[in-house]
Chain A
Amino acid sequence: MKTDYVIQAENLTKLFGDFAAVNRISFHVKAGEIFGFLGANGAGKTTAMKMLIGISTPSSGRATVAGFDVYKETEAIKKNIGYMSQKFALYDDLTVKENISFYGGIYGLSKKAVKEKSHKLIEELNLQAVSNSLVGGLPLGWKQKLAFSVALLHDPKIVFLDEPTGGVDPITRRQFWEMIYKAAHKGTTIFVTTHYMDEAEYCDRVSIMVNGKIEALDTPKRLKAHYKTDTMNEVFLKLARG
């Protein structure tokens, strides 16, 4: 396998009993890329992602993330990635600052580094006024932006986002994608799942999963050309209907 790919998967499979939630998927993600991982609900996106981030052991197949094996080197993978789950995963009963310093702390950042970073982060997100309020009281959009920033706190090589914009308004979604671009610009690889097809347009390359399999993988432009449509939405509908 070549090393300029930060994620490589070969025939990666996850079985639950007889049911193949993820069925022999293969793909590569290049460093610095925004990689869109599309699919309908239940297509197997989250399951596939969980194998890559080291919290679910694959049933068969091979994969490496940041050069580390997903079977044996999960802890090394975890040092190099950031993750933001579908469920909002900051502590509601801690303040903004406390959440930042907690996650910074368990990634082993020094006290000084945590302080600097949290200062910068709060400024960037314009959260000065609420930095000492409990996170539980913030609007969902703010929470999600905060969660994304926290996932980037330890400067991971790759950041995995599982439907990061679920349930937020279009303006916040827009701002969120600006943040994603900014991070990608700095060289962070972005692996993002979504079922908003308009968001797919923002990605460098997208894969589309249907029933546990990757049915298509290319740049949005070439996919649209190949399926002879104007929008990713129609590409998706064509694939999903088979």
Chain B
Amino acid sequence: MTIIKHIIKKEFKQIFRNKGMLPIIFILPILQLVILSNAATYDIQNITFGYVDANNTSTSRGLIEKFEASNYFNVAHRFASENEASNAMQKGLVDVYLTLPTRFEQDLQKHQQAQLGVFIDAIDGAAAGVINVYVSQIIQQYNKHITPQLSQPRDALEKIHRIESIPLFWYNETLNYKTFMVPGILVLLVTMITLFLSGMNIVREKEIGTLEQINVTPIRKSHFIIGKLFPFWVLGMGLLTIGIVLAKVIFNVPMLGNLGLLYAYTAIYVLLILGIGLFISNFTETQQQAMFIAWFFMVIFILMSGLFTPIESMPKWAQTLTAFNPIKYYVEIIRMVMLKGSGFTDVLPQALKTLAYAIIMNGLAVWSYKKTT
């Protein structure tokens, strides 16, 4: 036990003495949280909007006014022709444009229905889907507004049976995207720093030659690894704390669940990440290689974690693969606990998997660390 203590003490001293690394450990996460949370958003706003109004009546202008009044759409460009509008889209000047046909108002009065062209730049498919939803919502509202205005007494005879759907958004009524992203970015913050630091740790001692010196001491492998892990584990928990405070203070993200539960899970999770880092460290010769490999896995893990894109939309085989993705479990759990207030039994399945994974990875790390070649 005292031997482990000596290693821990030494690691802490080295972490806090490395002037180049300290800012990376403590300032980077804050920057990351602030910038990423603002940059990583699928919250579609400021949609540049244009229209071709061949009708130019109070009905067509009324519709355009609705769009102009909406928070989602930016001031409208009016185009003289469809050709002009389409050119503007090619240049990337508009995200969406409407074409109101010449007989727009007349059709509406005569045939009780009018067609309206909606053209959306769909290269970003996800954004296009959201824009389409916003456009339909505004048109529906406008419909509700004009139907009674245009109705004639004879229309009332024909009664329409309606299914009224009432959408209710739980846990995030205002559909605030930051509430969704900030906990996920907290995961990145805890994971990236602990993975990179632990990944470079043993290989650094290899490079400077001190590892050989350690290897000729009678220290036990497990003691050495535990001594190396502990300081980074503390660091991970510290990062979580900083992150939670920032999430609350800057972004006002709710914390509905039990904070203790989140810490308990993070304790297991960080252990797992450190195990992976040390495993990488054991298999590489230089810090550069370790960085590359850590970065490579990091990118894949992040992309397949459900952090930015829903796991449900992945094909079956990819969903199966995500079972090996530690980040996926943490993203799920942190969102469940913080935003929904999920309890112990709700997170138990993921927690058990993480624990098993952590035991395996740390076992592998101890096993693959060879004092003798």
Contact = CB atoms under 8 A, between A and B. Distances in A.
Interface of A: 53-57, 74-76, 78-79, 81, 83, 85, 87-94, 98, 101-103, 105-108, 134, 160
Given A74-B371, A93-B14, A93-B17, A103 B212 contact: no
Given A93-B18, A94-B10, A94-B14, A106 B214 contact: yes
B122 interface: no
Given A91-B210, A93-B14, A53 B373 contact: no
A217 B214 CA distance: 31
Nearest to A71: B372
B219 interface: yes
A94 B11 CA distance: 10
A57 B212 contact: no
B372 A87 contact: no
B7 A106 contact: yes
Interface in B1-32: 2-3, 5-7, 9-10, 13-14, 17-18
Contact of B212 (A89, A91, A94, A105): A89
B10 A90 contact: no
A90 B13 contact: no
Contacts of B10: 91, 94, 98, 102
B212 A54 contact: no
Contacts of B174: none
A74 B214 CA distance: 13
B13 A94 contact: yes
15 contacts: A55-B216, A56-B373, A57-B373, A74-B372, A81-B216, A89-B208, A93-B13, A93-B18, A102-B7, A105-B5, A105-B9, A106-B6, A106-B7, A106-B217, A108-B218
Nearest to A134: B17
B209 interface: yes
Contact of A83 (B14, B18, B216, B219): B216
Interface in B213-245: 213-220
B14 A105 contact: no
Most buried by B among A87, A93, A102, A134: A93
A9 to B, nearest CB: 17
Given A74-B371, A107-B217, A98 B209 contact: no
A87 B212 contact: yes
Most buried by A among B9, B17, B217, B373: B217
Given A74-B372, A102-B6, A106-B7, 17 more contacts: A53-B216, A55-B373, A56-B372, A56-B373, A57-B372, A83-B216, A85-B209, A87-B208, A87-B212, A89-B213, A90-B213, A92-B208, A93-B14, A94-B14, A94-B17, A105-B6, A134-B17
Given A94-B13, A98-B10, A55 B215 contact: yes
B218 A79 contact: yes
A153 to B, nearest CB: 10
Interface in B81-136: none
Contacts of A107: 217-218
A101 B10 CA distance: 10
B210 A89 contact: yes
Contacts of A91: 10, 14, 210
Contacts of B373: 55-57
Contacts of B212: 55, 85, 87, 89
B218 A83 contact: no
Nearest to A87: B209
B2 A105 contact: yes
Contacts of A57: 372-373
Most buried by A among B18, B212, B220, B371: B212
B213 A83 contact: yes
A108 B3 contact: yes
A97 to B, nearest CB: 11
Interface string B273-290: 000000000000000000
Q: 4 smallest A-B Cβ distances: which pairs?
A: A105-B6, A87-B209, A89-B213, A83-B216
Contacts of B217: 78, 103, 106-107
Most buried by A among B208, B213, B215: B213
A108 B215 CA distance: 15
